[in-house]
Structure 1
Amino acid sequence: MSEAVVLDAVSKVYGKGRGAVAALREVSVSLPKGGFTAVMGPSGSGKSTFLHCAAGLDTPSSGSVRLGGTELSGMNETKLTELRRQRIGFVFQAFNLVPSLTVEKNVTLPLKLAGVKADRAWTAEVLRRVGLGDRAGHRPAELSGGQQQRVAIARALVTRPEVVFGDEPTGALDTMTAKDVLTLLRETVDELGQTVVMVTHDPVAASYADTVLFLADGRIVDSMSAPTAGAVAERMTRLGAYV
């Protein structure tokens, strides 16, 4: 199977009656396994809702979402929590690290929560890959913002997930640090065969992806392969985002 995630006619409506707001409108898309997909659009275009529905964090009002061969609709919250814990990695703008835990313990926390024994060799390998092999015993307060985001990426990778979802993962970082983090995400795709789906508002961040999906008013209105920052910014201007 070459698709990691498939959305089929997914709509998401918040509220009822006259106050109802359609965040997604019949979105159908396949996200390829081993690919890096960026999702862009103006504020309020449905980017976060798209990510939350694709990752099983939110339930569509209609349509279906499949992770690999697994249909998510109809799953109860317990099953969805289990699926997210075992098969999906998350990297958010906020690093969400536990201050009292070491880097290593923060990274292996999802395994502990799932009642799974951490593979020490794999944990060490993941820490080495994110450039924190010598920081395993440090606490978050002893790290820079960029290093903390690397811990978050290591934590997302340690369960060997089918997909890593990033929600503005470089939003809180300076330009140089963001570049390091994006290079790291790119390497996980190229070297580990990881699938990455990233919501971003930054054309430079989007240029690290294989494909950019453009959302407007809850619909996918365009896509771009082999994106450049300039081409992405120009397309966003035509969506009314950077006027």
Structure 2
Amino acid sequence: MTDVVRLDAVSKVYGKGQGAVAALREVTASIPRGTFTAVMGPSGSGKSTFLHCAAGLDVPSSGSVRLGGTELAGMGETELTELRRRRVGFVFQSFNLIPALDVVENVTLPLRLAGARVDREWLAEILRRVGLEGRAGHRPAQLSGGQQQRVAIARALVTRPEVVFGDEPTGALDTMTAREVLGLLREVVESMGQTVVMVTHDPVAASYAGSVLFLADGRIVDAMSAPTADKVAERMTRMGAYA
């Protein structure tokens, strides 16, 4: 397996002088292609900063971030925007759908912004996989929270990205709906060969991933393969997350 994302000695410092805060400290990590990785840690551990640096949304203070074979350091904002639009998918806690657009229009928005052609067969395939075939003409207000997040996942997949980043993607959903969405993300990895990196604070959500990276004080302090909710929660407790 090749690495889709690679961070080498990445640090991120916000502010200067005595007010400087180190959000990431010399973080080195690799995300293999076709895997589902959860990133966990206490509040303030650097989870969101890790995701933002890995996805090219934020620029590290030092170190190297590679997406596929592309080094992100030195790229301008226009280049980074173009790279994210073509090669990265995003799913956020707030679904970030446009109320005036229907499902198909929301899903294909990244393609239209990029001036790319919509592959109708691929669009139909994605809508089928996320369970929205019968909702194509609906607007967000006509959909449940779980259906809205499915639209967001379809939107993240429509460009055939190299990696999908999820930032607390089930944080706004009830327990049953969250499990459906997590099952869908796992299916996207297993049946479509997609790569998913998900930041979460929820041990149950992390248990759907194939592996978990644990962050504390801006450093990766542990990793776990074949996680279970109980094992993840126990490890988090020892990190002081729930103390």
TM-score range for the pair, normalised by the shorter chain length: over 0.9
In the alignment, structure 1 residue 203 sits paired with structure 2 residue 239: no
Q: Distance in 2 between matches of 1:71 and 1:165?
A: 18
In the alignment, structure 1 residue 135 sits paired with structure 2 residue 135: yes
Deviation at 1:242, TM superposition (A): 1.4
Unaligned runs of 5+ in 1: none
In the alignment, structure 1 residue 71 sits paired with structure 2 residue 80: no
1:220 paired residue number: 220
1:152 paired residue number: 152
- Aligned-residue Cα RMSD (Å) equals 0.5
Q: Distance in 2 between matches of 1:18 and 1:185?
A: 42
Percent sequence identity is 81
Q: Distance in 2 between matches of 1:209 and 1:181?
A: 12
Three-state SS of the structure 2 residue aligned to 1:56 is coil
Deviation at 1:91, TM superposition (A): 0.1
2:44 paired residue number: 44
- Paired residues in the alignment total 243
Three-state SS of the structure 1 residue aligned to 2:135 is coil
Paired residues for 1:35-184 under 5 Å: 35-184=35-184
Deviation at 1:72, TM superposition (A): 0.3
1:237 paired residue number: 237
Deviation at 1:119, TM superposition (A): 0.5
Three-state SS of the structure 2 residue aligned to 1:99 is coil
Unaligned runs of 5+ in 2: none
Q: Distance in 2 between matches of 1:75 and 1:211?
A: 30
What whole-Å deviation, never above 9, does each CA across 1:63-109 have from its counterpart, x for those lacking one? Answer: 00000000001000000000000000000000000101110000000
Residue type matched to 1:62 in 2? S
Give 4+ residue runs of structure 1 displaced > 3 Å after superposition. none
Three-state SS of the structure 1 residue aligned to 2:101 is coil
Q: Distance in 1 between matches of 2:7 and 2:233?
A: 26
In the alignment, structure 1 residue 30 sits paired with structure 2 residue 30: yes
Q: Distance in 1 between matches of 2:242 and 2:229?
A: 13
Q: Distance in 1 between matches of 2:234 and 2:63?
A: 32
TM-score normalised by L of structure 1? 0.99
Q: Distance in 2 between matches of 1:37 and 1:46?
A: 16
TM-score normalised by L of structure 2? 0.99
